[in-house]
Chain A
Amino acid sequence: MKKRVILEASEVARLVEKLAADTAGDGKNLEGLAVVGVHNRGVPLAKRLVAAISKRWNVEPELGSLDITLYRDDLSDVASQPQVRGTEINFDISGKRVVLVDDVLYTGRTARAAISELIDFGRPGRIELAVLVDRGHHELPIAADYVAKKIETTPSQMVEVHLKEVDGRDEVLLIGDN
């Protein structure tokens, strides 16, 4: 399968800064902000957003992580045997503006599961979605509030985000033909 690097480390860094700024409303929308990463790569991404926001505007948003394994809609598939990795929401989400963070928005099913799981922890004031890459082909009426980069793809292609914390380097790959 053909693999092509479409975003290099420096571009990923720039996009993370942009996503942090959008999430923070350029410093004007920080009240009650909580940033929650979705396993796997949403978790380090959420950490980077929080670090960038607190560095630039000197406030520390709440940080959490969600493992949506138990909320997936394909749990009964023969092939799926997912490991449960644990969810950490160590703060009260009631009334907060919770920004869910994931690396790629594709079908929207992960976001759907993340919303279902999140509201089992309480009643946030708002739930928003921030993604590094929106590659299209959504299968649910779900859109991201903050998108660092839109990428045109065909359904057979795959987009892989690599992050230093998980993969050893920062880059975005497009896999498949065209």
Chain B
Amino acid sequence: MNWTRRHLLGLYDLSAEEINTILDTAASFKEVSTRSIKKVPPLRGRVVANLFFEPSTRTRISFELAASRLSADVVNFEKVTSSAVKGETLKDTARNIERMGVDIVVVRHSAPGAPHRLAEVLDASVINAGDGPHEHPTQALLDIFTMREHKDRLEGLTVAIVGDIAHSRVARSNIWGLQKLGAKVILVGPSTLVPGGFRELGVEVTHSLDEVIERCDVINMLRIQLERQEGGLFPSLREYSRMFGLNRERVSKAKEDVLIMHPGPMNRGVEITPQVADGPHSVILEQVENGLAVRMAAMYLVTRGR
């Protein structure tokens, strides 16, 4: 297909065909990481700026490495060392950085829609690396890529997303992407973190993991934010873990070929036990590896979009 997008802002706007194009391109880029020289030249002479207004070491490193493997130069801009603390607006910051000759801006921001606003004012391509609880498209794409590698197709798969759905950009992007490719999504968690209103998106909502676990082809465990407990959204970590944590006993009730995923960083012993995280169903480290390929594909495609 003809790729026309200059930005990757979320999966909500993408068609199934566009998502598949990114996944197919990522499959080709995955091979690059197996070469003796793990680098290809298509972004030679281009500059990628990582603008992270929220801390995230691993996503930033993944984007940085993906850019290097495409031969781009990378500049990192983090909130702590920036003018943002001096009161400069997001738009001014981005415009200043763009003037240094930046071609792609990778942005993470706590405000939903921040990347979309930047895309309106910049000539550079914008890739959303997480905007508040709104979207995190490359994470969802790498999740879906990993599912596709193991299950061949998304159509007809049943995927459970477990945890703090209400505050999760990973969940939202996964919901859009999975539904477009024909997978069935089940959201699992306490009612305070998985409000029934999500049903309007056409997904199944349940407050009991045990009730649905036998039907799942994939279980994607989200990180439980410890600070949510202080907000009173669930009674205790032990209680959460008992109801929604993945342990060996629970996994034994699932399908024999169930895939267990986690976007990281994990709270071992809370949402997932070490035995499950390191067990035979876990593809958590493959997700990290696939993230590199997906981000290479995203950066390559947005520079080709016209």
Interface, chain A (partner B; CB < 8 A):
67, 69-71, 75, 78, 81, 83-88, 116-117, 120-122
Choice from B28, B304, B306 contacting A86 with Cβ under 8 Å: B28
Main secondary structure of the interface of A (DSSP, over half): loop
Does B300 have its Cβ within 8 Å of any Cβ on chain A? yes
| B31/A70 in contact, CB under 8 A | no
- What are the residues of chain B within 8 A of A71 when measuring CB–CB? 40-41
**A70-B41, A70-B42, A85-B28 given as contacts; is B36 within 8 A of A120 (CB)?**
yes
What would be 23 A-B contacts, judged by CB atoms less than 8 Å apart?
A: A67-B28, A69-B42, A70-B42, A70-B300, A71-B41, A75-B42, A78-B306, A81-B2, A81-B3, A83-B25, A84-B25, A84-B28, A84-B300, A86-B27, A86-B28, A86-B31, A87-B28, A87-B31, A116-B41, A117-B40, A120-B39, A121-B35, A122-B36
Does B37 have its Cβ within 8 Å of any Cβ on chain A? yes
Q: Which of A71, A84, A87, A117: most chain B CB closer than 10 A?
A: A84
| A120/B25 in contact, CB under 8 A | no
15 new A-B pairs (CB below 8 Å) besides A81-B304, A121-B36?
Answer: A69-B42, A71-B40, A75-B42, A78-B306, A81-B2, A81-B306, A83-B25, A84-B25, A84-B28, A84-B300, A86-B27, A88-B31, A120-B36, A121-B37, A122-B36
- How far is it, in angstroms, between the C-alpha of A71 and the C-alpha of B27 when the chains are bound? 17
- What are the residues of chain A within 8 A of B29 when measuring CB–CB? 84
- How far is it, in angstroms, between the C-alpha of A71 and the C-alpha of B44 when the chains are bound? 10
Main secondary structure of the interface of B (DSSP, over half): loop
- What are the residues of chain A within 8 A of B304 when measuring CB–CB? 81
**A78-B306, A81-B2 given as contacts; is B27 within 8 A of A120 (CB)?**
no
- What are the residues of chain B within 8 A of A70 when measuring CB–CB? 40-42, 300
Residue ID in chain A nearest B46 by CB atoms:
A76
Total A-B Cβ pairs within 8 A? 37
Q: Which of B3, B36, B300, B306: most chain A CB closer than 10 A?
A: B36
In chain B between 36 and 65, which residues have their CB closer than 8 angstroms to a CB of chain A? Answer: 36-37, 39-42
- How far is it, in angstroms, between the C-alpha of A86 and the C-alpha of B304 when the chains are bound? 17
- What are the residues of chain A within 8 A of B42 when measuring CB–CB? 69-70, 75
- What are the residues of chain A within 8 A of B31 when measuring CB–CB? 86-88
- What are the residues of chain A within 8 A of B25 when measuring CB–CB? 83-84
Residue ID in chain B nearest A85 by CB atoms:
B28
- What are the residues of chain A within 8 A of B306 when measuring CB–CB? 78, 81
- How far is it, in angstroms, between the C-alpha of A70 and the C-alpha of B304 when the chains are bound? 12
Residue ID in chain B nearest A81 by CB atoms:
B304
- What are the residues of chain A within 8 A of B36 when measuring CB–CB? 120-122
- What is the minimal beta-carbon distance from B145 to any residue of chain A, in angstroms? 14
- How far is it, in angstroms, between the C-alpha of A69 and the C-alpha of B24 when the chains are bound? 14
- How far is it, in angstroms, between the C-alpha of A75 and the C-alpha of B40 when the chains are bound? 13
Q: Which of A78, A120, A121: most chain B CB closer than 10 A?
A: A120
| B37/A120 in contact, CB under 8 A | yes
Q: Which of B25, B31, B39, B300: most chain A CB closer than 10 A?
A: B31
- How far is it, in angstroms, between the C-alpha of A108 and the C-alpha of B126 when the chains are bound? 36
- How far is it, in angstroms, between the C-alpha of A75 and the C-alpha of B45 when the chains are bound? 12
- What is the minimal beta-carbon distance from A120 to any residue of chain B, in angstroms? 4
- What is the minimal beta-carbon distance from A106 to any residue of chain B, in angstroms? 22
- How far is it, in angstroms, between the C-alpha of A174 and the C-alpha of B18 when the chains are bound? 36
- What are the residues of chain B within 8 A of A69 when measuring CB–CB? 42
- How far is it, in angstroms, between the C-alpha of A169 and the C-alpha of B29 when the chains are bound? 32
- How far is it, in angstroms, between the C-alpha of A36 and the C-alpha of B35 when the chains are bound? 16
Binary A-proximity of B290-303 (CB < 8 A = 1, otherwise 0)? 00000000001000
- What are the residues of chain A within 8 A of B35 when measuring CB–CB? 120-121
Residue ID in chain B nearest A122 by CB atoms:
B36
- What are the residues of chain A within 8 A of B41 when measuring CB–CB? 70-71, 116
- What is the minimal beta-carbon distance from B43 to any residue of chain A, in angstroms? 9
- How far is it, in angstroms, between the C-alpha of A67 and the C-alpha of B27 when the chains are bound? 13
